[in-house]
């Protein structure tokens, strides 16, 4: 099986980081978002939603959505808690990431870093700030109570949220008012096998 991804993308980095923390590897095929390589007929044939990362199996089956692929790659591992409540809590944080965090922090970073904050995108960039700070406040509240998002040990929830939170400054976000978030970033970086985002 193989992953199609862009190594500058936080959504793709989630899979690289998870594999590294597990001491695993997977074939990787580079796809350049900025060159439109997720919108070609060939890519859309693999995955109709035209987004990366995707995981392709040797028999042709394809999984999309970074957070879903993580569950496949980490099935049965300690990164997925076995209690029904903690598992639902893990999912809560992953859905929070896709709805309330990524559309603000990742998109602001994309406009700033990938597109170079062009004049016509400045209003959209500014409009992303309030939502991004709200998401960071939600994380801060949890991380003041527990070292990781779902308790005392690292789960997929932390990997999902780490991907764009640790580069939030590239989207214009100042993490100074979020000491628990900054401490958590250090804890994730200290995990055995950790690799940095290659962006």
Place of tokens 């779902």: 150
What b/e readout covers 81-110, taking b as 16+ CB neighbours within 10 angstroms?
beeeeebebbeebbebbeeebbebbbbbbb
Residue among 76 and 116 whose Cβ is closer to a copy of itself = 76
Minimum CB distance to a copy of itself smaller for 9 or for 66: 66
Candidate list 20, 33, 91, 180; residue touching a copy of itself; CB under 8 A: 91
In the list 84, 176, 186, 198, the residue contacting a copy of itself (rule: CB under 8 A) is 84
Nearest of 40, 146, 157, 53 to residue 97 by alpha carbon: 157
> Scanning residues 127 to 156, which ones bind a copy of itself (CB under 8 A)?
134, 137-138, 141-142
Contact 47, 56 (CB under 8 A): no
Residue 71, number of CB atoms within 10 A of its CB: 17
CA distance 23 to 171: 30
The residue among 138 and 194 lying less far from a copy of itself, judged by its C-beta, is: 138
Examine residue 96 and tell whether it contacts a copy of itself (CB under 8 A): yes
Q: How distant, in Å, are the alpha carbons of 102, 109, 118, 153 from that of 89? A: 18, 27, 38, 13
The answer to whether 94 contacts a copy of itself (rule: CB under 8 A) is yes
Number of amino acids touching a copy of itself (CB under 8 A): 34
* Cβ 49 to a copy of itself shortest distance, Å: 5
Span near a copy of itself by CB under 8 A; candidates 14-22, 48-56, 114-122, 185-193: 48-56
Give the residues lining the site for a copy of itself (CB under 8 A): 48-49, 51, 61, 63-69, 71-72, 75, 84-85, 87-89, 91-92, 94-96, 98-100, 102-103, 134, 137-138, 141-142
């Amino acid at each position: 099986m193989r992953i199609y991804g862009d190594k500058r993308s936080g959504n793709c980095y989630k899979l690289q980081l998870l594999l590294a923390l597990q001491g695993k590897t997977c074939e990787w095929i580079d796809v350049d978002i900025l060159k439109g390589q997720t919108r070609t007929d060939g890519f859309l044939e693999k995955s109709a939603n035209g987004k990366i990362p995707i995981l392709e199996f040797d028999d042709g089956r394809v999984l999309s959505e970074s957070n879903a692929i993580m569950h496949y790659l980490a099935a049965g591992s300690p990164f997925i808690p076995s209690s029904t409540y903690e598992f639902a809590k893990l999912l809560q944080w992953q859905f929070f990431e896709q709805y309330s965090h990524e559309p603000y922090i990742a998109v602001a970073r994309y406009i700033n870093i990938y597109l170079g904050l062009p004049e016509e995108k400045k209003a959209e960039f500014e409009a992303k700030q309030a939502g991004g700070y709200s998401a960071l406040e939600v994380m801060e509240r949890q991380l003041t109570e527990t070292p990781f998002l779902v308790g005392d040990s690292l789960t997929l929830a932390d990997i999902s949220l780490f991907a764009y939170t640790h580069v939030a400054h590239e989207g214009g976000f100042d993490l100074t008012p979020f000491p628990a978030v900054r401490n958590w970033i250090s804890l994730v970086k200290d995990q055995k096998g950790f690799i940095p985002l290659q962006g």
